[in-house]
Amino acid sequence: MQDFNRYIPHTEEEIHKMLDAIGIRKLEDLFQTIPREVRLSKALNLPEPLPEPELFHHFQRLQTPVMSSFLGAGAYHHFIPAIVSSLVSRSEFYTAYTPYQPEISQGTLQAIFEYQTLMCQLTGMEVSNASLYDGASSLAEAVMMANRVTRRKKVLLSQTLHPEYRRVIQTYIDPDQQEIILIPYEKGGGRTDEKMLFDLLNEEVSAVVIQSPNFFGVIEDLRPIGEKIHHLGGLMIVGFSEPIAYGMLHPPGATGADIVAGEGQSLGIPLSYGGPYLGIFTTQERFVRNMPGRLVGETIDLDGKRGFVLTLATREQHIRRERATSNICTNEGLCALMATVYLSCLGKEGLRELAMMNLSRAEYTKKIISLIHGCKVNFTGPTFNEFVLKIEKDPKKVLEKLKKEKIIGGFPLVKFYPELDHHLLVTVTEMNKREEIDRWANALERALKG
C-alpha cells in the first residue's frame, strides 16, 4: 500500500466504477485530449515518498538553531501569546477560501472588518484594505496609487526607507514612465534630510515616501514634510516596519499622511525566515476607489440583520480586468487574522505597555553601551527599539566572535549602505531580557578588546 494514499481516498473498486460511469476503460483514457507525443513516458524524478514519521525526522534535521538574537531591520522577534496560534489554527479559518460566498464566510468577513478597523485606529487613517503581501509590496502599491491619483510620475524616496522596500518599489515602477529620486539622510541625526527634500520638492512630485521609525530606528518628524508636499499638490506616503512603535508614537494619519503602508509582522506573526508576513495598507476615505486590495463592508441581510460582505469589488482584477487598481487576488488573510487576534488580546493598554517595554530595553542597552570602549550610538535622533551602533573594529569579525558565543549580535549595515562600514543595526525587543542584553554587551566588549 502506497503511503501517499492517506490523502487520496479512492479504492481500486471505486476507480473502476467511476471509469465505467464515464464510459472509458482505463485512467490513461482520461487524458485523451492531450496529444500523445507530449505525454510523459517516464516518472518524474523526485525522491521516494516519505511516511509521516520519517517526514518529521527529515524536517527536524533541516531546522536552524535558535540563538540569542539582536536582529530586526524589518522583521522583529516579539512574544506571541498562545491564543494566537490556537485560534488561527481553527481549520474553519485556515482551510477556507476568500469569502466569495458571504453567508458561509461571516467568520472571515467579520474578522477582516475588525482588522480593517484596528488598522485604521493604529495608523490614524480612515480606511484599510484586507491586507497585501508584505510591507515592501504594500509600499509599491502605495506609490502606484499616488501616481494614479495625482497623475504625476515623480516619486521621492527617503534613503532611510528600508533598502529592500526601496528595491521593490523600483521593481514595480516602469522606469520609462516613472521616475524615482532618492533623498539622503542627515549624517548626524539619522533622519531624512529635510532641507534636501524641500529643495527637490516641486509640483511634478507625485509623492514623498518616508518611513518612521526609519531603517536606522530613528523616529522621523513627518508633519512639516506633509504640510510642504500637500501645498504642492502631492501626497505623503508613510511607511513602517515596526508597528509596535505606534503603541506610543503619534499615528501617521495625525501627521498628514495620505497613505500609510508597511509591514505588520510584529503583530503576532512568526519570523518564519521572512514570510508570510502582512502588508498593511490604509488611506483616507476620499481615495477609497483608487485603493488596491479587497475591502469588507458592513451591510444587512434580508431580515435586516447585520452582516459583512466583500465590497467595492469593481476596483479589482476579477471585474475591472486590465484596468484594475492592482492585480492582487490572494492576499495574506490568515496573517491579518493573526494580527486581529493579537491586538484584541493586547488591547489598548497592552500595546502601549509593550511599546514602552521595547523603548525601555533599547534605552537600557544604549546606556550600557556608553560604558564600553570602542563603540558608540551613531545617530543622535530619537529611536524606538533599534539603533545604529558604530564600532571601531571590523563588524564582520566582531559578529563572528559573538556568533561563537551563540549570539547574533546585530545587522551589518554595509550590506545596504557602503559608507556605514563600521556600523551595526541593533534591535532590542521585549524578548531580549536584561541578562541577555548584559551577556551581549559583555561579549561585544570582549570582541572589541581582543
Partner 1 sequence: MKFPEELLYTESHEWVKNEGGEVIIGLTDYAQHQLKDIVYVEIPEVGLKFRKGESIGVVESVKTVADIYSPVSGKIKEGNITLKDHPQFVNEDPYGKGWLVKMEIQDKEELEGLLSARDYQGLLPKE
Partner 2 sequence: MAKIKDTGLIQDEPLIFEQGGKGRKGYSLPRWDVEVAEAQSLIPTQLLREELIGFPQLSEVDVVRHFTRLSQWNYGVDSGLYPLGSCTMKYNPKVNEEIVKMSGFSNIHPYTPEDLSQGILKLMHELQSFLAEITGMDEVSLQPAAGAHGELAGMMMVRACLEARGERRKKVLVPDTAHGTNCSTSTIASYQMVEIKSNEKGVIPSEKVAELMDDEVAAIMVTNPNTLGLFEENLGKIAEVVHRKGGFVYCDGANLNALMGILKLGDLGVDVVHINLHKTFSTPHGGGGPGAGPVAVKNELAPYLPIPVIEKDGEIYRLNDDRPYSIGKMRAFYGNFGVLVKAYAYILSMGAEGLKRVSEMAVLNANYLMKKLKGHYHLPYDRPCMHECVFTDRFQEKYHVSTLDIAKRLIDYGFHPPTIYFPLVVKGALMMEPTETESKESIDRFIETMVQIAEEAKEHPDLLRQAPQRAKVRRLDEVLAARKPKLRWTGNQ
Site for partner 1 in 92-151 (CB under 8 A): none
Please, which residue, 320 or 449, has the CB nearer to partner 1? 320
Which of residues 151, 177, 373, 419 is near partner 2 by CB under 8 A? 177
Please, which residue, 203 or 329, has the CB nearer to partner 2? 329
Which of residues 34, 371, 419, 450 is near partner 2 by CB under 8 A? 34
Cell of residue 367, nine digits: 546606556
Task: Classify 398 in phi/psi space as left (phi over 0), alpha (psi -120 to 50) or beta.
Answer: alpha
Contacts of partner 2 in 96-155 (CB under 8 A): 96-108, 110-111, 113-114, 116-118, 120-122, 126-128, 130-131, 133-137, 144
Residue at grid coordinates 524641500:
198
Tell me which residue of 362, 444, 449, 368 sits closest to 404, measured CA to CA: 444
Length of the chain: 450
CB of 85 to partner 2, least distance (A): 7
**Pair 112, 296: CB distance under 8 Å:** yes
CB of 320 to partner 1, least distance (A): 6
Which of residues 361, 401, 422, 423 is near partner 2 by CB under 8 A? 361
Listing DSSP states for 387-450 in one string gives EEEEESS-HHHHHHHHHHTTEE--EEGGGT-TT-TTEEEEE--TTS-HHHHHHHHHHHHHHHH-
CB of 373 to partner 2, least distance (A): 23
Residue 194 C-beta-side C-alpha neighbours within 13 Å: 12
CB of 202 to partner 2, least distance (A): 25
Which of residues 179, 183, 208, 297 is near partner 2 by CB under 8 A? 297
Residue 99 C-beta-side C-alpha neighbours within 13 Å: 27
x-or-dash string of contact with partner 1, 313-352, rule CB under 8 A: xx----xx--------------------------------
Tell me which residue of 270, 276, 284, 264 sits closest to 343, measured CA to CA: 264
Please, which residue, 200 or 270, has the CB nearer to partner 2? 270
x-or-dash string of contact with partner 2, 325-354, rule CB under 8 A: -xxxxxxxxxx-x--xx-xxxxxxxxxxxx
Contacts of partner 1 in 243-282 (CB under 8 A): none
Longest Cα–Cα distance in the chain: 83
User: What is the pairing mode between strands 411-412 and 205-211?
Assistant: unpaired
**Pair 192, 221: CB distance under 8 Å:** no
Which of residues 148, 164, 390, 439 is near partner 2 by CB under 8 A? 164
Please, which residue, 105 or 160, has the CB nearer to partner 2? 105
Please, which residue, 56 or 100, has the CB nearer to partner 1? 100
Residue 219 binds partner 1, judged by CB under 8 A = no
Please, which residue, 200 or 288, has the CB nearer to partner 1? 288
Measured distance CA(53)–CA(398) in Å, rounded: 41
Please, which residue, 167 or 203, has the CB nearer to partner 2? 167
Measured distance CA(161)–CA(164) in Å, rounded: 8
Helix 333-369 × helix 434-449 angle, to 10°: 60
When CB distances are held under 5 to 8 angstroms depending on the partner's kind, the choice from partner 2, partner 1, none that residue 214 binds is none
When CB distances are held under 5 to 8 angstroms depending on the partner's kind, the choice from partner 1, partner 2, none that residue 270 binds is partner 2
CB of 327 to partner 1, least distance (A): 16
Identity (one letter) of the amino acid at 168? V
Q: Which residues contact 277 (CB under 8 A, 6 or more apart)?
A: 75, 133, 134, 135, 263, 264, 265, 269, 332, 335
Please, which residue, 419 or 435, has the CB nearer to partner 2? 435
Which of residues 231, 289, 406, 415 is near partner 1 by CB under 8 A? 289
Q: Of 64-72, 96-104, 164-172, 311-319, which segment contacts partner 1 by CB under 8 A?
A: 311-319
Binding residues vs partner 1 (CB under 8 A):
289, 313-314, 319-320
